[in-house]
Structure 1
Amino acid sequence: MPSTVPSLATRAAAITLLALDVDGVLTDGTLIYSADGGESKCFTTQDGLGIKLLLEHGIEVAIITGRRSAMVERRAEELGIQRLIQGRDDKLTALREVCQASGIELAACAYCGDDLPDLGAISAAGLGVSVPNAPAYVRDRADYVTERPGGQGAVRELSELLLTAQGHWGGIVEGFLATATTTR
């Protein structure tokens, strides 16, 4: 009997909202504290461009994180992310709130996380995603596990997957190539 579970490409084609965890997904999960109490996080520009491309092509992006950080607020603002939820370990409840506020069903939402607080959201989303640096019990519940680790292009990889499934990626690459050839 054929499987009734939609393929990865079918699921990715239906996504209109991508929700992301921060530590372990947008960053490698390392927290750096200075002697004066400051905190540092490292974000990759490749993920940032992937997020901007999603937004330009009508895919809303949200951040749901268990910690509170001015750096995350700044990064969200720089990228144009309107939906930022900080200080929430109840990721599934937060994801449902984002979907309701956006008028989007969970089936049209992708969620990418890397640890126990993300399990409910990964399981409930139309496309549950994890990163390879997540524990096995998280990866096992995801529909897709990125090849690139969190903080090292995982979000960019996921962005390209969604944009490809929705028929945008080829045009994006061609647009950048056209710009490159006119500036030579």
Structure 2
Amino acid sequence: MDIKEKAKKIKLIAMDVDGVLTDGKIILGEKGEEYKNFFAQDGMGINLALEAGLDIAWISGRESKVVEARACQLKVKEVYQGIEDKSRSLTQVVKKHNLSLNQVAYIGDDLNDIPALQRVGLAIAVANAVEEVKKKADFTTKRKGGEGAVREAITLILKAKEGVW
């Protein structure tokens, strides 16, 4: 099955945060406060996906108040942080939305994303993902994590759905 056919079936887009929605850099202030860079076009892509009726889930290995704040801004309701087993969280999200795994896309960048990537209908790696992730992906973005990769992936999915784009 080609990428467009896989993308047509997608109803939920799950993704890692650090290295996918951000450039992976974590800036710490002198009092331990954390800062991250998010790309505005990725935010617009998430808005477009939500408006098109797709569900969005963020599954992060780390915990961060910055991530909570960004999710709130974008109205992303499914946010799982401090997750060691992303595949298990993915299963919870899929059950909650009464979907099958072939209706899910997952966007990842590092080794801890591989178990989730291997289970979904459309596995997506960002351009700067580690090679092991790229080898498991159905599609690798041209753009890097935190630099429009999420928007690129969402655009691919929305364009595959007739009458949505």
Scaled to the shorter chain, the TM-score interval is over 0.9
Between the two proteins, the alignment pairs up a number of residues equal to: 164
Structure 2 residue aligned with 1:59 = 54
**1:140 is matched with which residue: 132, 135, 144?**
135
Give the Cα separation in 2 of the matches to 1:75 and 1:124.
27
SS in 1 for 2:114: helix
Query: Which TM-score applies when normalising by structure 1?
Result: 0.88
- Structure 1 segments, 4+ long, off by >6 Å, are none
Which runs of 5 or more structure 2 residues have no equivalent in the other structure? none
Paired residue for 2:30, among 19, 28, 35? 35
* CA shift digits 1:110-140 (9 cap, x unpaired): 0001111100111111001111111111101
**TM-score, normalising length from structure 2?**
0.98
SS at match of 1:98: helix
Larger radius of gyration: 1
**2:83 is the alignment partner of 1:88:** yes
Unaligned runs of 5+ in 1: 1-5, 170-184
Selected match of 1:49 from 44, 48, 55: 44
Matches within 5 A, 1:100-119: 100-119=95-114
The one of 117, 126, 148 equivalent to 1:122 is 117
Name the amino acid aligned to 1:77.
C
Code of the aligned partner of 2:12: L
Where does residue 182 of structure 1 map in the other structure?
none
Q: Which has the higher contact order (CA 8 A, sep 6+)?
A: 2
